[in-house]
Structure 1
């Protein structure tokens, strides 16, 4: 009688329990991922159909489609995302080509400036645009005095301009990474065969970089769709999906309608995330092979002139936005009373959220780094049943729009058995589990570089699996841990889209405080707090760049 073979899932489950400590840890992590990433998204979906407060109904969708305001908000969100994505990708290609094909000091400086918007919440640029082009802005007043133009940046194009500046680094980093890793010999061969550089860029360079460009476009589109702070500050009378979703919760207490709008944000995010994960993964490998010692083809005079001009203009815009924030922090009323002052830094009551943000971000960063490191080790070394599903769900936390996740947390944690709304604990959990995917991916990559023979040698010398992890593996994962910690701390300090639904008067955070001050037209105080926030996050970014150069850790 032949022995019946067990299926792979059963075998993996039995093998996992050979080390009970790691098995229990895996189960705890899986349950936490389900509760803190999956369940909030499902809760929003169910709420949109009335499940939880009433029987299944489509009336909330009917209300959405019968409202010209909400349909207009959906249209504005889609159009602004398309325009923002198109412009960001164009600028990313131009600047990335200039930086990767020019080894001058100026090109490196431009590359650094391109990443500056990462150190602030995206709506900071709405604040700068108001200072420059608002109803009493510096440029607005000049245009009115010189030409009699009555101009204001408030509205659809103000939102688009703020989004272009705020989300540009996301697109640029992906495009620059792709272009810098391409095989230079392909471009050299094209030039040697007589093609002009414009034709080489069009026929060789950009087609080979299409994977990175598509990934960048999809990321920027999702982020622009989910943006709610810029429309609130500078959108004027124009409605946008995320901002209307926020107002439905805060102003109308209509969670069902907010959930319906959340579904329209989840759908494109989910589609794009699945497409990136399963259809664009590990593509364009041919662009990375060979030519390691060969430099990229230098830019011709005409191409370099075009790239330099566009790059310079955009870099000046970015620097101008930051200069406005800094000036606003150190003058009484920028554009009206430009005398130097430190008064904006003296009101301690408005600075409490900064201290709260530092504490919450620090705790979240520690947890995200530890959990990410453990996940990376378990997924890379242990026979976990459903490993690919758990990895997918962990990374999906990065893709879910913050407004959707925030509402999902309110639905789940605003009553028994988990009444956590308005607590620091919920803020920490939200920030932690939205960012653990970064630490996990870093740790998995690092584990693939670590020879498993080191762990086997430790076992042969009598060390158990837990001691081997603590004494051998964990020290080797230290760079990934530190990178995950710094990245989470940096992004948590400037996050707003999800936590804005979870704060209470005693747990306000700095990004939300800046948003409130900007809405109240307290430009000086908003600029002062923004300036301090920029300094803190710039310091974190410097640590990340150091880690990248020292240990090869890539975020």
Structure 2
């Protein structure tokens, strides 16, 4: 016991040996607790009535006794499950084709597969309405020629939109695993007489298991917590995230909304634990020093099947984007296709876009700067409980936006801090939801920097603070810029958390587009979506340029 006490005091003295960094560490820790942990706990406590004057299970009883809420749980879970199965299948086939084909077409398909990343999360609901809505282009064609009537609205519309929106997540993880797979394993299987179908089934897929499981977990949680697609195309079908929002704005029932939020937190937390402790360092035998580009080419039957499925899916993705772009530049797509710029003329839309840019810029500066600083402190300084602090910071990336939004309302919608509806709270919300990106970038870069450079500076009398400013910060600049661009890009299309804390005069572009789409103003929604897509594509271009110039990847 005495030895433990001595060790504790020794570590504590080391921590305070550089008081400036110690104080910064404490401030960051308190900020993480206040802006990430506290909102989640506020939701959890409010679901038991704590904060409303009593401790009770009545709200959980009401949840399980109300068919609307049970249906929302079932719809969210089942839709997320179907989305995951389809996304994993498509991602596996797609990854197989692009990693084992060296044609220009395969490279183009890879770029097309990542296109959904540049769009707001609900863009595909908007495109599906343009194509298959009540007055959709294809709906009218089928009705006029064949007398077929159907509706894309409802459960299956949400599922299709989720598949399109979350496909890039599954694809990136599975494609990365397959691209880095040792070609010698497939060659050995072939030399032993196995056909390619058997090699894929017995060698490739088992070795890609880590990427497939990661992808499945992430896609499932993203589908479960999907907020905007159910609101736009789900019609009257209830889903957990959208129902939580409607419970807040329609009934002002924070307790029931918190209960719905708890059912979003639990799977997200479980997946985060798996990602952090079981798969973070998973490095199966698939990885070798050889490039995945040497993998055995696909045989004609396998290539035909994989390229056919990939072509169909890419065509559908491109069609979605084309519909949104056309919807922005014609009067009423499918009805009056004459060219117009009227959809871009609304001043409200440009005001929300300007505010979105300002908020996203400030959040990106704070998230990347604070994340980079925290990465340096965790990598170099003897901070007590650094593993727990890193865990809590990264957990901010895993918390569903709906839960974080409800939590911010519970904490900041009354004394002592009444911040709901202010630009400051929007910036803080986006900052601490994305600070984990800056942290990971900072830690990753610090591991690439030899500590001997800092030691040499200290030996020459630079001191810890001057060394940080003159040596470390310039070396961390690629991580800062990458984190800044990525955070800005994602903040511009963020919606699920900020929609709870906006107010008249502080509306953001993504929320404004959601309102337009929900009220069937498709032209204006398409126009604003087009502008957002252009901005995010420009950000991705800058990010790629940074990666090319510095060799640093976020």
Which of the five TM-score ranges fits, normalised by the shorter chain?
A: over 0.9
C-alpha contact (below 8 Å) 2:183/2:292 kept by paired residues: no
Per-residue CA deviations over 1:104-153 (Å, capped at 9, x if unaligned) read: 11111111111111111121110100000001111111111121111110
2:534 is equivalent to residue 511 of structure 1: no
3-state DSSP of counterpart to 1:287:
coil
Partner of 2:296: 297
Deviation at 1:549, TM superposition (A): 2.6
Partner of 2:138: 139
C-alpha contact (below 8 Å) 1:442/1:553 kept by paired residues: no
Deviation at 1:389, TM superposition (A): 0.4
In structure 1, distance between residues paired with 2:245 and 2:505: 20
C-alpha contact (below 8 Å) 1:119/1:537 kept by paired residues: yes
C-alpha contact (below 8 Å) 2:100/2:293 kept by paired residues: no
Partner of 2:10: 11
Partner of 1:332: 331
Give the paired residue count.
554
Greater CA drift, 330-339 or 99-108: 99-108
Deviation at 1:294, TM superposition (A): 6.7
In structure 1, distance between residues paired with 2:380 and 2:515: 47
2:65 is equivalent to residue 66 of structure 1: yes
- Note the aligned Cα RMSD (angstroms): 1.3
Measured at CA, do residues 425 and 419 of structure 1 come closer, stay the same or move farther in structure 2, by a change above 3 Å? same
In structure 2, distance between residues paired with 1:549 and 1:180: 19
Partner of 1:491: 490
In structure 1, distance between residues paired with 2:7 and 2:173: 37
3-state DSSP of counterpart to 1:545:
helix
Question: Residues 10-409 of structure 1 correspond to what in structure 2 (within 5 A)?
Answer: 10-292=9-291, 295-409=294-408
C-alpha contact (below 8 Å) 2:63/2:259 kept by paired residues: yes
3-state DSSP of counterpart to 1:332:
strand
3-state DSSP of counterpart to 1:289:
coil
Deviation at 1:225, TM superposition (A): 0.6
Greater CA drift, 272-281 or 391-400: 272-281
3-state DSSP of counterpart to 2:331:
strand
Deviation at 1:286, TM superposition (A): 2.3
C-alpha contact (below 8 Å) 1:185/1:294 kept by paired residues: no
In structure 1, distance between residues paired with 2:182 and 2:550: 24
Deviation at 1:194, TM superposition (A): 1.4
In structure 2, distance between residues paired with 1:107 and 1:4: 62
In structure 2, distance between residues paired with 1:9 and 1:209: 43
Measured at CA, do residues 286 and 11 of structure 1 come closer, stay the same or move farther in structure 2, by a change above 3 Å? farther
Partner of 1:533: 532
Deviation at 1:9, TM superposition (A): 4.1
Deviation at 1:8, TM superposition (A): 4.3
Q: Which runs of 5+ in 2 are unaligned?
A: none
Measured at CA, do residues 108 and 58 of structure 1 come closer, stay the same or move farther in structure 2, by a change above 3 Å? same
In structure 2, distance between residues paired with 1:4 and 1:517: 65
Partner of 1:502: 501
In structure 2, distance between residues paired with 1:285 and 1:439: 27
Per-residue CA deviations over 1:75-111 (Å, capped at 9, x if unaligned) read: 0000000000111111111111111111211111111
In structure 1, distance between residues paired with 2:176 and 2:291: 15
3-state DSSP of counterpart to 1:154:
coil
Partner of 1:416: 415
Deviation at 1:292, TM superposition (A): 4.3
C-alpha contact (below 8 Å) 2:421/2:503 kept by paired residues: yes
Deviation at 1:388, TM superposition (A): 0.5
Greater CA drift, 524-533 or 172-181: 172-181
Partner of 1:438: 437
Partner of 1:427: 426
In structure 2, distance between residues paired with 1:513 and 1:9: 52
Q: What TM-score, normalized to structure 2?
A: 0.98
Per-residue CA deviations over 1:155-200 (Å, capped at 9, x if unaligned) read: 1110000000111111111111111122221112111221111111
Q: What TM-score, normalized to structure 1?
A: 0.98
C-alpha contact (below 8 Å) 1:100/1:180 kept by paired residues: yes
The 4+ residue runs of structure 1 with deviation greater than 6 A are none
Greater CA drift, 153-162 or 141-150: 141-150
C-alpha contact (below 8 Å) 1:330/1:528 kept by paired residues: yes
3-state DSSP of counterpart to 2:337:
strand
Partner of 2:542: 543
3-state DSSP of counterpart to 1:6:
helix
3-state DSSP of counterpart to 1:339:
strand
Greater CA drift, 282-291 or 75-84: 282-291
Measured at CA, do residues 325 and 9 of structure 1 come closer, stay the same or move farther in structure 2, by a change above 3 Å? farther
